[in-house]
Amino acid sequence: MSALLVEIKKINKKYNLGSGILNSQKRIVHAVNNIDLQLYRGETLGLVGESGCGKSTLARLIIRLEKPSSGHIFFQGEDIFCYNKERLKTYRRNVQLIFQDPYSSLNPRKSAASIIKEPLIIHHIGKSNEREESVLELMAKVGLNKEQADRYPHEFSGGQRQRIGIARALILRPELIIADEPVSALDVSIQAQILNLLKDLKQDFGLTYLFISHDLNVIRHMSDRIAVMYLGKIVEMAANSDIYNRPLHPYTRMLLSALPSCDPKMKRRSMVIRGEAQMEEAIGCSFQSRCPYKSVICSDAEPLLKEIENNRFCACHFAGSI
């Protein structure tokens, strides 16, 4: 396996929602709950789960847009929450984010070339003519031509705007790209183009991806390994083929059972989707209210994420036996 790039240890993030008019009791939401995760150089790790499970919160913690309630994140062996101002600036040069919404993530008052060039100015990289050259070169790489350089975001389609966002993330030549639902706001006809572009750029620039999505088909196309997240916790983690061919956790099976198929002869996975996620913390397994395999132990003890088979991790009392 390649060298370890990012290591997440026991990371937690809690939000205090305060009290409401009808409820005077304060609510605390555990958005990220005691997560351990490793990201290796050159891989694409897919992070999948329902909306609200904590995927984007984890991304914001990794890029240090938020601070954790507890825990540590190490980048190349250094704790990112111990960085001083200068070191943090270097870190953010190495770790870039591709946003979900290409409409709101671009400054409407700046041209495409200015948006892509701005990180070079902030980090004092290159002379003026060198910056211009780098911008045009990268625009060509992402499928934009130099005639579009002086156009503004409203003059581009959704897919083209996302290409501008991708170019902006790549201009600093980062080591890690966090792609937070990068195609969910795009038309289906454009999604495949952007996904294939991201795969090509990974090879060309030697990138590492943390690819976040709620779409299992997208995750399957992009990822080497997959981590399945439920209510702030990683409940299963394995290689791409292992997750899709033989999921160990009931929640992973539930997600896969919802996947549509174009093949009428293909057998459907026999698992019915039950209920909704319960945000309030409960004793035992967080998935117990929706699980058809629930037993007494599920209400009494929380299952821990552990290695069930070689490089296959699962947080279920019955992993491998259901």
pLDDT per residue rounded down to tens, the chain (322 residues): 689 999 999 999 998 876 666 666 677 888 999 999 999 999 999 999 988 899 999 999 999 999 999 999 999 999 999 999 999 999 999 999 999 888 889 999 999 999 999 999 999 999 999 999 999 999 999 999 999 999 999 999 999 999 999 999 999 999 999 999 999 888 888 999 999 999 999 999 999 999 999 899 999 999 999 999 999 999 999 999 999 999 999 999 999 987 766 555 555 555 555 666 666 667 889 898 889 889 999 999 999 999 998 899 999 999 878 7
What single-letter amino acid sits at 41?
R
Q: What is the reported pTM?
A: 0.91
Beta bridge partners of 225: 45, 239
pLDDT given at position 141: 96
Computed from CA positions of residues 88, 91, 92, 95, in that sequence, does the dihedral angle turn out positive or negative?
negative
pLDDT given at position 210: 97
HEC string of the chain equals CCCEEEEEEEEEEEEEEECCCCCCCCEEEEEEEEEEEEEECCCEEEEECCCCCCHHHHHHHHCCCCCCCEEEEEECCEEHHHCCHHHHHHHHHHEEEECCCCCCCCCCCCCHHHHHHHHHHHCCCCCHHHHHHHHHHHHHHCCCCHHHCCCCHHHCCHHHHHHHHHHHHHCCCCCEEEEECCCCCCCHHHHHHHHHHHHHHHHHHCCEEEEEECCHHHHHHHCCEEEEEECCEEEEEEEHHHHHHCCCCHHHHHHHHCCCCCCCCCCCCCCCCCCCCCCCCCCCCCCCCCCCCCCHHHHHCCCCCEEEECCEEECCCCCCCC
pLDDT given at position 272: 59
State phi, psi for 259 to the nearest 5 degrees.
-70, 130
Longest dimension (CA), the chain: 68
Residue range(s) of every CATH 3.40.50.300 domain in the chain: 4-223
What's the Cα-to-Cα distance from 17 to each of 14, 24, 26, 78, rounded to whole Å?
Answer: 9, 11, 7, 32
pLDDT given at position 65: 93
What CATH number matches the domain at 4-223, 3.40.640.10, 3.10.20.30, 3.40.50.970, 3.40.50.300? 3.40.50.300
